[in-house]
Structure 1
């Protein structure tokens, strides 16, 4: 499977309904600290929008609900892996992406044969407090050599201006969050990302 090079991450179905119709083909729904009923409603709405527009939807963390709702792809952070039933995820036919920050986490991820590996934060990020400082562009090249053909995602502080450097360093895909959601015109920003990555 070939992943689209542009991978925005949104915290609600509203964002997905607003921006996926512009031509996004790969998107993550990442909801934190919400009631299960709210998460499920958001998953259903996001899945409907993505199905309509031929976009691959990736659900962050909520693997049980993703299975129940017939989703095709989940993303797990290292903390999420602790309680995840990888056998159940694979038995349900879900594809799996995993976050990594150091070589120990990378080894753990590679052993699970994921469908992509994410490295971050490449640059400082305001998205969440992390114990990891910025990884830097050069580390993408190291990861590229270590993971072979597995798709590599660059995440963390990524902007349109920084995307080319990440691709040059070995990333297959660049994930963007606040570069879109905090932009004065998210629609225009998405169009610019699409133009730059297609």
Structure 2
């Protein structure tokens, strides 16, 4: 499996409608604190939008709703992983990405045979207060050596830092703050695509989990 090296994470489908026309090919819908009816409607709309733009959509956390809507990929944090019905997710043909922040969490993630593993925060992040210290680039190399699936780097990654992170072992960089706080998110997304483009041809094509 191959993942695009630029992986924006957005809170709703309004953001998808803005970013997908810029050439985004791998994106996560990360909905927080919304009624389930809204979540379901957003997931269904996101699936349609991403299909229209040939973009791989990842649904954060809401694996039951992802199954119902026919989504193709979910992302699970460690708490969600513990309560998720992995057999049901796999039976629906859905790929799984999993967050990790420590060796213990990596062990738990690998036991689930993930389609990608995310490591973070690589750098300090202003998005939310994190209980983990920044992982740093050496930890990326450590994780890369232990994985046979793509590695996603997340946390404090800026346009300038992206090439360094990719060169350190990440297959793709997940980006939230740098996009959603930009004065011109569409232009910023195009800049990200341009900066990460050299890694598109270099990325490893991993076997399916």
Q: Equivalent residue for 2:201?
A: none
What is the alpha-carbon distance in structure 1 between the residues aligned to residue 21 and residue 48 of structure 2?
12
What is the alpha-carbon distance in structure 2 between the residues aligned to residue 44 and residue 17 of structure 1?
13
Please list, as runs of the form range in 1=range in 2, the aligned pairs for 1:1-198 lying within 5 A after superposition: 1-147=1-147, 149-198=148-197
What is the alpha-carbon distance in structure 1 between the residues aligned to residue 27 and residue 10 of structure 2?
8
What is the alpha-carbon distance in structure 2 between the residues aligned to residue 129 and residue 84 of structure 1?
25
What is the alpha-carbon distance in structure 1 between the residues aligned to residue 156 and residue 172 of structure 2?
14
Q: What TM-score results when the alignment is normalised by the length of structure 1?
A: 0.98
What is the alpha-carbon distance in structure 2 between the residues aligned to residue 89 and residue 115 of structure 1?
12
Structure 1 residue runs without a partner (length 5+): none
Instruction: Extract structure 1 runs of 4+ deviating beyond 2 A.
Output: none
Q: What TM-score results when the alignment is normalised by the length of structure 2?
A: 0.92
3-state SS of paired residue (1:118): strand
Q: CA deviation at 1:197?
A: 1.3
3-state SS of paired residue (1:161): coil
Q: CA deviation at 1:130?
A: 1.9
3-state SS of paired residue (1:137): helix
Q: CA deviation at 1:125?
A: 1.2
Greater relative contact order: 1 or 2 (C-alpha under 8 angstroms, separation 6 or more)? 2
What is the alpha-carbon distance in structure 2 between the residues aligned to residue 152 and residue 89 of structure 1?
21
3-state SS of paired residue (1:134): coil
